[in-house]
Structure 1
């Protein structure tokens, strides 16, 4: 029997899990600032009670106490040990059948093997009293994005990467996405952003903003990802998807003058607000304005995410929504 696909992110949420930076050895000098950015994100999603319930997940009691000081009553804080905060990839995906689907996690192809990341999804789902189903293949939530109709978008760079499921063909992956999550159509894009340690997660490249309506960046001046954006748009249009172009922050460098995968696409769509990461780039306001046209019923909140980005992701990467029934 085919299960219904997960609801799209713009559908109503009961709650959201958000990871809170907890390990000084991972975050180093960025830890205090990353915590401030995550707390600001949590409060924006909560929207003084107009948004969804926020469940802030801390890995230990020290982090939980720090979180409480920063968010007050805007979030429920729970302690569950994890490797790091990227719950989009490690938390379970709540399917259209209200089952928590927990997939294997191998540290983004063996890059970061951190204790607790392999079972945090199962523990959070059981804490929330979901019926759970475990799946024996590697899949991260940031690698896929669906529009609620059965259509899902992903990248070949990630889901066909030999460091994830080397035994699976493209047809195998499509079959498993259908069997385990109810997706009936798969739009395959090519590569993700340059220097993305996730091997091209789609939530930095392309996001559905409506049924069969896909948001893809338009290259900024001197944009290192311009060919990737062009290829993604070409593939999506050929597939028959309506493509909407969106600003890009362009070339963003770290302190070592290396290109980092900064993306406005890593926004989170909450019940009351869409929260978009900003990086102090020329197109920051353009990204906010574009989202306001796409989500007229929600507040569009732009927040700096520079310190979260030092860990490799942004607001979408650290969150996993719990859809309403």
Structure 2
């Protein structure tokens, strides 16, 4: 590995939108996927061995379809990863890490136009502040990850003072974004910011012309209800949203309210979305800190594939059957995530896509 070049720093003005940048949807063509190798048995409540086994299968699967950049905290992590990933298309990076949730602590990439093989657009990123979901865990090292990525890619970028996690926002690539009030409006992230403030911020930085709000997420989700654990765009006009089967479940009324709200929402042209119901796992899972938040909505979309978490639950196969027709041309793959969910998240939380493109020159 070589020391990455020093990247450029850009003023807040002009904004990414002024420069023609927007966040592409996850299904747009990728250059690579970024992940962070799990470490610290205490972070995984004694399940690290099982987590690494499942994580390695996730990395090997992604690497069959696109390059992987893997952050490793120390020599032990790299040795373990290399032993499990021998022969996989993986580039290793030694970076101080607090945890593995790069969806939230990593950069959000933006492009000038849609990423395609025949026309890779100029690519930049936004470096948001990260504070471990309102100061719940250690975060100082993870907050530096976007800057490392920008330096490695020699990519001019924007540094923002606001706290924002990638798992808290969904975009459809056609100007619409989805988020939750329970997450974005907490006082532990950006005190005093309103829905209107976020709408303006995400319009200027990520090209979100219309920001749609759901009320909340899953019970005992330490992210305060990230959208990527419950509701996802699968194309510009189609949304999958989680529903609970048990009316006595605390998640039932929240998910039903989300479902009703989504059915009343429209795109930029005023057209309603197609809304597809996706069941939550049927069996309640308990972890070291109470109820766990397993969900099939935390899938990850890549070049020619979708990986969907599986928990050894009666609804595992039903979730795959619902998702497969929604991703024509992609292989929908179920992978185990029973150990990973002990940390509170799954595949989408552990991944960050880098869209296909050339590093923007800054001009």
With the shorter chain as reference, the TM-score category is over 0.9
User: Which of 157, 170, 177 is the matching residue for 2:195?
Assistant: 170
Q: CA deviation at 1:42?
A: 0.8
Is 1:324 the counterpart of 2:356 in the alignment?
A: yes
Q: CA deviation at 1:251?
A: 4.1
Between Structure 1 and Structure 2, whose CA radius of gyration is higher? 2
Is 1:236 the counterpart of 2:251 in the alignment?
A: no
Q: Give 2:163's aligned residue.
A: 138
Is 1:87 the counterpart of 2:102 in the alignment?
A: yes
Structure 2 unaligned runs (5+)?
1-17, 113-122, 267-272, 358-363
**Alpha-carbon distance in structure 2 between the residues aligned to 1:224 and 1:279:** 20
Q: Give 2:27's aligned residue.
A: 10
Q: TM-score, normalised by structure 1?
A: 0.95
Question: Contact conserved, 2:181 with 2:214, CA < 8 A, in 1?
Answer: yes
The alpha-carbon distance between structure 1 residues 127 and 80, as it changes in their structure 2 partners (threshold 3 A), is: same
Structure 1 unaligned runs (5+)?
none
Q: Give 2:341's aligned residue.
A: 309
By percentage of residues, which structure has more helix?
Answer: 1
Question: Contact conserved, 2:283 with 2:313, CA < 8 A, in 1?
Answer: no
Runs of 4+ in 1 over 4 A off after TM superposition: none
Could you list the per-position Cα deviations for residues 234-284 of structure 1 after superposition, in whole angstroms to 9, with x for gaps in the alignment?
A: 111211232111122134222569321110000001112211111111110
Is 1:71 the counterpart of 2:96 in the alignment?
A: no
Question: Contact conserved, 2:130 with 2:139, CA < 8 A, in 1?
Answer: no
Q: Give 2:74's aligned residue.
A: 60
Q: Give 1:185's aligned residue.
A: 210
Could you list the per-position Cα deviations for residues 196-249 of structure 1 after superposition, in whole angstroms to 9, with x for gaps in the alignment?
A: 000010000100001132110232235441112111111112112321111221
| Alignment coverage as a number of residue pairs | 322
**Alpha-carbon distance in structure 1 between the residues aligned to 2:284 and 2:156:** 42
What CA RMSD, in Å, does the superposition of the two structures yield over aligned residues? 1.6
Is 1:202 the counterpart of 2:202 in the alignment?
A: no
**Alpha-carbon distance in structure 2 between the residues aligned to 1:5 and 1:257:** 38
**Alpha-carbon distance in structure 1 between the residues aligned to 2:263 and 2:143:** 36
Q: TM-score, normalised by structure 2?
A: 0.85
Q: Give 1:26's aligned residue.
A: 43
**Alpha-carbon distance in structure 2 between the residues aligned to 1:223 and 1:61:** 44
Q: CA deviation at 1:297?
A: 1.1
Is 1:290 the counterpart of 2:311 in the alignment?
A: no
SS of the equivalent of 1:264 reads: coil
SS of the equivalent of 1:134 reads: strand
Is 1:161 the counterpart of 2:178 in the alignment?
A: no
